[in-house]
């Protein structure tokens, strides 16, 4: 068993995370850190970590899937899938997550997410992420080999994609991170430098943001599978506070 930190590289601006990972990897032989980047990383990351620049598609779900496809992972490796704009207050979350996994939980988030009473993967999305997905349902973004898991509405616990801890065995059992490769589409950028997907340009400069439709869909489809296979009780958190625990604070689009 090894401890794997897989970081979605985009903002790359939090020193407590970068410096802490550097020290953690140097001092612990069982810890490996990998930056799965969707844009060119700064020199500090290039000089001190394993990293790879991947095609910018499917946001963090794409980044995590690209990393697990690229790396050689063992079933019982403990994987921490993280956004790169996390503020780390206490690295004790590693031990707490391991204890929770040892007690039978399959997915651990940071702050509690309210989840869904009846998440419907069959709802229609009029404007798709590309033209081939126009007027398709959410489930049409799922990989073919995972489609059988989606049977209807499901009560779900959720973990925010900013922080997801799982054994690699669980990642394999759910068929990896959604979506299918055809949905790996890079967002456009407006004149103010704000990203958006097709049909959401008018949201790009709002608090909701132009990535929200698919930025929520892909994690929801992924975590649906955890709920479906293992039950919603298999998902837990480090705290009951949204985006926060005593260990970690999740920034919002790179800002505190």
Q: Is residue 255 domain-resident?
A: no
| CA–CA–CA angle 216, 108, 11 (5° rounding) | 55
Helices then strands, counting H and E runs in the chain, come out as: 6, 15
Residue 252 pLDDT level (bands cut at 50, 70, 90): confident
Q: Is residue 214 domain-resident?
A: yes
Burial class (CB in 10 A: 0-12, 13-18, 19+), 225: buried
pLDDT, mean of residues 87-93: 97
Q: Is residue 256 domain-resident?
A: no
Show the domain range for 65.
3-250
Domain total of the chain = 1
Estimate to the nearest angstrom the gap between the alpha carbon of 195 and the chain centroid.
18
Sheet (strand 50-53) strand order: 50-53, 31-37, 3-9, 78-83, 163-167, 107-111, 235-239
Question: Quick one: residue 197, left, alpha or beta (phi over 0 = left, psi -120 to 50 = alpha)?
Answer: beta
Q: What is the pLDDT of residues 8-63, one digit of tens each?
A: 999 999 999 999 999 999 999 999 999 999 999 999 999 999 999 999 999 999 99
**pLDDT score, position 255:** 55
CATH code for the domain in which residue 138 is found: 3.90.550
Question: Mean pLDDT across the chain, nearest whole number?
Answer: 96
d(CA 132, CA 54): 23
Instruction: Report the greatest alpha carbon distance in the chain.
Output: 51
Q: What is the pLDDT of residues 207-234, one digit of tens each?
A: 899 999 999 999 999 999 999 999 999 9
Q: Is residue 201 domain-resident?
A: yes
CB atoms within 10 A of CB 32: 18
Residue 253 pLDDT level (bands cut at 50, 70, 90): low
């Amino acid at each position: 068993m090894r401890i794997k930190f897989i970081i979605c590289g985009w903002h790359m601006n939090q020193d407590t995370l970068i410096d802490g990972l550097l020290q953690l990897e140097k001092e612990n032989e069982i810890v490996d850190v990998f930056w799965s980047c969707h844009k060119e990383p700064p020199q500090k990351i290039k000089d001190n970590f394993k990293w790879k620049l991947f095609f910018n598609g499917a946001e963090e779900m794409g980044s995590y899937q690209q990393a697990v496809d690229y790396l050689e992972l063992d079933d019982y490796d403990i994987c921490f899938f993280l956004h790169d704009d996390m503020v780390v207050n206490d690295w004790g979350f590693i031990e707490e997550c391991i204890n929770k996994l040892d007690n039978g939980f399959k997915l651990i988030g940071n702050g509690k997410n309210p989840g869904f009473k009846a998440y419907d993967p069959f709802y229609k999305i009029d404007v798709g992420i590309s033209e081939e997905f126009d007027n398709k349902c959410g489930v049409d973004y799922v990989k073919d080999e995972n489609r059988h898991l989606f049977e209807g509405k499901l009560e779900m616990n959720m973990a925010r994609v900013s922080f997801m801890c799982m054994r690699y065995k669980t990642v394999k059992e759910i068929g990896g991170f959604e979506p299918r490769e055809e949905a790996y589409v890079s967002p456009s950028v407006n004149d103010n430098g704000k990203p958006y997907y097709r049909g959401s340009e008018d949201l790009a400069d709002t608090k909701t943001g132009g990535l929200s439709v698919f930025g929520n869909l892909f994690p929801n489809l992924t975590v649906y599978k955890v709920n479906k296979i293992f039950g919603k009780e298999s998902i837990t958190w480090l705290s009951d506070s949204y985006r926060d625990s005593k260990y970690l604070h999740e920034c919002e689009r790179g800002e505190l």
